[in-house]
Amino acid sequence: MACRVGIGYDSHRFAAGRKLILGGVEIPGEIGLDGHSDADAICHALTDAILGAAGLGDIGEMFPDTDPANRGRDSLEMLAAAVEKVGRAGHAISQVDVTVIAERPKLSRYRSQIRSRLGPVLRIDPENVSVKGKSNEGMGWIGRGEGLACIAVATLEGNR
């Protein structure tokens, strides 16, 4: 069985009057994330990680932000479409690992909810969905609370 690894990165700016959705889970609070879609940085980084592992391009190619159809789009749906695409190419996801870098919110309370939400979309057991939170120790744009970043790694098994 061939094993392939992909990495994905995403960032979004915090914005008032927007929802904060991470890994398909709405996190209550006074601040949300700005973006063309629902700004779910976990889903976006994961989508790039699995497309990258399969060598099938990136999220911007699959869902251009110039297309009005992608405005406010559910990022779980985009992730599911990428999973479908890599599946058709003969790959299955083994596991994923996500780190969200933000001063707030603290993600630990939502970790198990996010894992349960993402498992079925990725077609893997939630045990194989790792979600971690990190602060940026107050440094730079993340430290100033301007936004958050997310890094994701995915491994695929397949016949090519």
* Bridge partner list, 23: none
Q: How far is the CB of 134 from Mg ion (least distance, A)?
A: 18
Question: Is 111 one of the binding residues for Mg ion (CB under 5 A)?
Answer: no
CA dist., res. 147 & res. 150, Å (int): 10
Window 43-62: contact mask with Mg ion (x via CB under 5 A) = -x------------------
Question: CB of 40: closest distance to Mg ion in angstroms?
Answer: 7
Chain residue at closest Cβ approach to Mg ion: 44
Span from 42-50, 66-74, 101-109, 147-155 in contact with Mg ion (CB under 5 A): 42-50
Counting residues that bind Mg ion (by CB under 5 A) gives 2
Q: Does 10 bind Mg ion (CB under 5 A)?
A: yes
Nearer to Mg ion, 86 or 152 (CB): 152
Look up residue 72 and give its amino acid: G
Measured in whole angstroms, the distance separating CA 95 from the mean position of its chain's CA atoms is 13
CB of 44 to Mg ion, least distance (A): 4
Measured distance CA(149)–CA(12) in Å, rounded: 7
| Cα–Cα distance measured from residue 117 to residue 126, given in angstroms and rounded to the nearest whole number | 8
CA distance 44 to 32: 16
**Between 154 and 158, CB nearer to Mg ion:** 154
Q: Which of 15, 64, 18 is nearest to 38 (CA)?
A: 18
Q: Which residues of this protein are in contact with Mg ion, per CB under 5 A?
A: 10, 44
